[in-house]
Structure formats: C-alpha cells, structure tokens
Amino acid sequence: TQLLEQSPQFLSIQEGENLTVYCNSSSVFSSLQWYRQEPGEGPVLLVTVVTGGEVKKLKRLTFQFGDARKDSSLHITAAQPGDTGLYLCAGGRVGGSNYKLTFGKGTLLTVNP
C-alpha cells in the first residue's frame, strides 16, 4: 500500500511556466518534507512543514501543508531549467520506536529552455 501518492508522476514544461505538484494521503502525518533529487545524487531537503495549513516560501517555490495534515503541494513559479529533478514528498510519523519517513514515488520534472 502506497501511503503517499504524488501527482503527476512526470511533468515536462517550458521555462517560465508555473506548475504544481501534489502529495496526497489518507493518513495523517506529524510532518511533511519535500526533497529534490538530481541524477546520480541523493535527495536533498527543500522544506519541512509541521503545522496544518502551514505555507512556506523558498524563493520561487511555495509549499503548503493541508489543514488535516494529510496532503501537501509544491508550487513553482516561473520554472527554470535548474529546477529539473525528481521531487519527493516524505511524511513523518511515529511507528513503534521509529520516527519513520514514508516517501512518495516522486514527480520527475523537466524544464526545457
């Protein structure tokens, strides 16, 4: 069972366009993180949101955590080729003695010049 569903799975756009990536779950998470992974590298954290309804901005990226803490979105304004990569959402919650991160399958974004 995939706890975190990301959509779309693939996205190819032109430089300057806006886009939104979604991360949805039927489960409640105590935190939601977004990572970006480039080819040949490990994921790198972009942002962490912990409060329902929270919105965080990182330059042209806007992250939102749903009120019920079950979903999140990532919006990129005026995308640039440097934004190309695999975007992963990860929900965090306690499972036994482990604070576990559950990852979505990712959205592969390609921004064409």
Partner 1 sequence: EAQVTQNPRYLITVTGKKLTVTCSQNMNHEYMSWYRQDPGLGLRQIYYSMNVEVTDKGDVPEGYKVSRKEKRNFPLILESPSPNQTSLYFCASSLQGGRGTEAFFGQGTRLTVV
Positions in the binding site for partner 1 (CB under 8 A):
2, 30-31, 33, 40-45, 48, 50, 88, 90, 92, 96-101, 103-106
The DSSP-derived string for 27-59 is S--SEEEEEEE-TTS--EEEEEE-STT-EEEET
- Closest approach, Cβ 84 to partner 1, in A, equals 18
Neighbours of 105 (CB within 10 A): 14
Minimum CB–partner distance for residue 105 and partner 1 (Å):
4
Between 30 and 110, CB nearer to partner 1 = 30
Cβ atoms 61, 93 nearer than 8 A: no
Cα-flanking dihedrals φ and ψ of residue 99, to 5°?
A: -90, 105
Report the residue number, 17 or 67, with the smaller CB distance to partner 1.
67
How many Å apart are CA 102 and CA 27, to the nearest integer?
Answer: 11
Minimum distance between the CB of residue 27 and partner 1, rounded to whole angstroms? 15
Report the nearest approach of partner 1 to the CB of residue 59 (Å): 18
